[in-house]
Amino acid sequence: MATSASLSRTSDFFREVVAEAPVDPHLEACLQCGTCGGSCPSGPDMDHTPRALFAMIAAGMRDAVLRSNTPWYCVSCYYCMERCPQEIRITDVMYTLKRMAIKAGYSAQTTAPKAPGFAQTFVDHVENYGRSFELGLITRYYLSHRPLDALKMAPLGMGLLKRKRLDLSPRPIRQIDQLKAILDRAREIDAAHST
């Protein structure tokens, strides 16, 4: 078996993933032991187990990796990271792959097509108001991405409303302009870095 370090030298995609992660995920140390997949609550529903996905990254299978539903089905439970003998930052890699899939325009073609829309709606919302108000978030997301499913969510919405567990209007933070300035600057810096 080739070591992951030698595999990593052969794949540009591998280096791209590592560079995109917030801190080095140490992906080259993956032993392919499978502990992560065996610990994963979403394992059975994933196109590829985390272990398989890491082998595919090392092999440079860019398309298949970015189309996989695996990162979108990751619920960030951190079981895999807890148990990985190599202390690989698996959950970070999943986030990184989501970001790369969105950037590459693949996210709508995965088998979890609903996930990127939800993430984007959430983000738009926070950027506009500074806090998330659940009703606005849910209705905007469902109306724009899944109009038919919006009906299914109605009973939950009503139940939350009745129990006064839902806001009807957003609660902007006081210094929303400050937050926007910070986020805009962050976007610029990020853009300048990813060439």
By CB under 8 A, the count of residues binding other proteins is 64
How many Å apart are CA 129 and CA 186, to the nearest integer? 17
Rg (CA), the chain: 19
173 lies in the site for other proteins, by CB under 8 A: yes
Residue 134 interacting entry, from ligand SF4, other proteins, none, C-beta within 5 to 8 Å by type: other proteins
E strands, 16-168, in order: none
Residue 51 binding: pick among other proteins, ligand SF4, none (C-beta 5-8 Å cut-off by kind): ligand SF4
- 19 burial (CB, 10 Å; 0-12 / 13-18 / 19+) is exposed
95 binds ligand SF4 (CB under 6 A): no
Which DSSP letter does residue 145 get?
H
Q: Rule CB under 8 A: is residue 143 a binding residue for other proteins?
A: no
Please give the distance of CA 55 from its chain centroid, rounded to a whole number: 19
What's the DSSP call for residue 27? G
Site residues (CB under 6 A) for ligand SF4, limited to 37-66: 39-42, 50-51, 54
Segment lying near other proteins (by CB under 8 A), choices 1-9, 10-18, 58-66, 176-184: 176-184
Q: Does 138 bind ligand SF4 (CB under 6 A)?
A: no
Does position 75 bind ligand SF4 by CB under 6 A?
A: yes
